[in-house]
Chain A
């Protein structure tokens, strides 16, 4: 397989600079509209001063006094993103929109039409520049993990190719934190096992990783070896979802089950709303827990009748949580429904339930119109952080997106 990963450079900031010539060549930072917003993207000019994603306005201004703040406009980004994706679709039918500014393209077997991979990449970059005035970095490799690594190796406007035969040499001394999906905290925990490079990770006994990290253990070892078998899921083909799930890394590790329950409610509502929007119901509810030390596991519970009702999903998720003896504080929680049944429309017998169905439908309708969580559970209301008001990285152009814990 030949995978191409395309990453738009400083996407939001670049789009703003394209739209407003007065911003070109200047240090700018795209921010959200709320009071306590942070920097979502900084232009390359601003990055030179040390302005980074996640900084608050004050910190950013201190780093770069001439910084110009621009409030993000999601519609512009979505429009540009769709144009870029359409360009990619001209080169291969298998385009996976990974986020608003990143995509994977399966270019296996396209050489007869477009020439060797380098040539495909060059053409894509050219088309994107012509059509949108933006630059991107492209990585090409035998799988998604390595393609993503390759595109990260040269920014902006890069083109890096990793060939099968170079993989082990390249990875041997590469710090694990460079790999997609291994963040600073996990890097820290790995270094606790004396694993600092991908080479060391690749050579580490799988059984120990499994014991230490739970279900993600074996995958970590494979990642160290540069093996990654996740397929490219083309846009529009995600519909055959086998599960619908959401997970979130908590702002800080939490051991209090009552506090965790609020996150479960929020995740259950996200799962419920999305599955309702797509007419999907699941017969299994699973809860994923990741401890502060990255040990990750999933427990599930079955249902007699498939559901997409937030209340039922939440009730099962909290049941599972109740049955777990937490051995330490939790870093991430995830709620998923699976064993999906489409087209099941068994009507409830009791009026109370029918009323509830109508109520949930009405709430969904309001939220579809005015935005998610416009009308929601009172228990979620004390959540005083409405979020940065910025488009989710999980954004997809269409279809039900399957979100899995990585």
Chain B
């Protein structure tokens, strides 16, 4: 294999696939990227066996072929190369030579036949989707996804399709975020609800940041595929059953509080500085027109702050992990939020004041 490529183009695709490369070296070849020169293009692929990414860039191919090479090293080398043109040459024994200007690198690769095969993609399955909408749905739920490896069934997002809506749900067993958006251009697919792993979704999210506009999304039996220009990401769906989220959405939370989002966010950030422990337990005391948030840490001291709210019911005292509130308040853009409560041991609901399509449920802490 032999090709010459623009340094900037090469660097861009190499950077894009870096995030996928397996960091734990369980299988040495997963630390590599697959390079393939064919049909006037240089194709690049990386995988950790959960997420597959491929991309391509134009290049001057003088000899077709393929090889695999350490992703990190290749990226670092290309980044530091002195000239705009990069020559790459791989022999039959996967010895790779990279030349640019007067610099020359020889590195050993591994044969491309040992590299995992990219899952086949049915292009007809891919349907257009608005980038901004999908990004918003990710951003308003991602913080609630569990990162606890022992709970693999909630290590991702539930993506569901209703008649005219798509819905995304994430939970870590203590809080749950749910967002619904009208489905203008129907995502297709056989399965009604699928579980998208966190890492794969965050990779898609990263790519959407880089490239605006529309992209294509498709769900198959085993994977979710997203395509944007020359980049294709295939994410293996999580197996396992997402908990029945409908059951935990309280129906009888009748104590409604309206609070200013920015104000509540700022005071929670202040007050939680003194909550003991890494778990940011903060006491919320709701009384007519007034919310008092307070925290205390036996070794350090205590903090308290009052916030004006709209509330007319009886006094209620309830403790929450402030972190859980902060995450949601930071992700929301509306000026006011509605907090609906029942009692100190039942889950509370937080929603933007004027809409029902973004729901956040927080389980309190025992006082």
Contacts and interface: CB of A to CB of B under 8 A. Distances in A.
A254 to B, nearest CB: 24
Contacts of A312: 150
B345 A349 contact: no
Given A347-B345, A348-B173, A349-B347, A316 B364 contact: no
B150 A348 contact: no
A346 B363 contact: yes
B248 A304 contact: no
Nearest to B247: A351
A341 B278 contact: yes
Nearest to A345: B366
B172 interface: yes
A315 interface: yes
A370 interface: no
B365 A345 contact: yes
Interface in B269-318: 276-279, 281
B290 to A, nearest CB: 25
Contact of A304 (B146, B345, B364): B146
Nearest to B362: A349
Interface in B91-124: none
B150 A305 contact: no
B133 interface: no
Nearest to B146: A304
B321 A346 contact: yes
A380 interface: no
A344 B174 CA distance: 13
A360 to B, nearest CB: 15
Which of B148, B176, B248 counts the most A-chain CB atoms under 10 A from its CB?
Answer: B148
B248 A347 contact: no
A306 interface: yes
Contacts of A344: 277, 279, 281, 365
A13 to B, nearest CB: 47
A348 B277 CA distance: 18
A306 B364 CA distance: 16
A58 interface: no
B278 A304 contact: no
A304 B172 contact: yes
Contacts of B278: 283, 341
B125 interface: no
Q: Interface of chain A, helix or strand or loop or mixed? A: mixed
A353 B365 CA distance: 15
B346 to A, nearest CB: 9
Contacts of B148: 303-305
Interface residues of B, number: 27
A126 interface: no
A137 B146 CA distance: 56
B173 A343 contact: no
Given A315-B150, A352-B243, A347 B363 contact: yes
B146 A306 contact: no
Given A304-B146, A304-B147, A319-B150, A347 B173 contact: no
B279 A341 contact: yes
A352 B247 CA distance: 11
A377 interface: no
Given A347-B365, A349-B175, A306 B149 contact: no
Contact of A343 (B150, B248, B276, B345): B276
B277 A341 contact: yes
Contacts of B172: 304-305
A316 B281 CA distance: 26
Nearest to B364: A347
Interface in A311-332: 312, 315-316, 319
A301 B150 CA distance: 11
Interface in B170-220: 171-176
A356 to B, nearest CB: 11
Contacts of B281: 343-344
A349 B279 contact: no
A315 B277 CA distance: 25
Nearest to B175: A349
Contacts of A304: 146-148, 172
Contacts of A305: 148, 172-174
Interface in B231-260: 243, 247-248
Contacts of B176: 349
Interface of A: 283, 301, 303-306, 312, 315-316, 319, 341-353
Closest 9 CB pairs of A and B: A345-B366, A349-B363, A304-B148, A347-B363, A344-B279, A315-B150, A346-B365, A350-B243, A345-B365
29 contacts: A301-B149, A303-B150, A304-B146, A304-B147, A304-B172, A305-B148, A316-B150, A319-B150, A341-B277, A344-B279, A344-B281, A344-B365, A346-B321, A346-B363, A346-B365, A347-B345, A347-B364, A347-B365, A347-B366, A348-B363, A349-B171, A349-B174, A349-B175, A349-B363, A350-B173, A350-B243, A351-B247, A352-B243, A353-B173
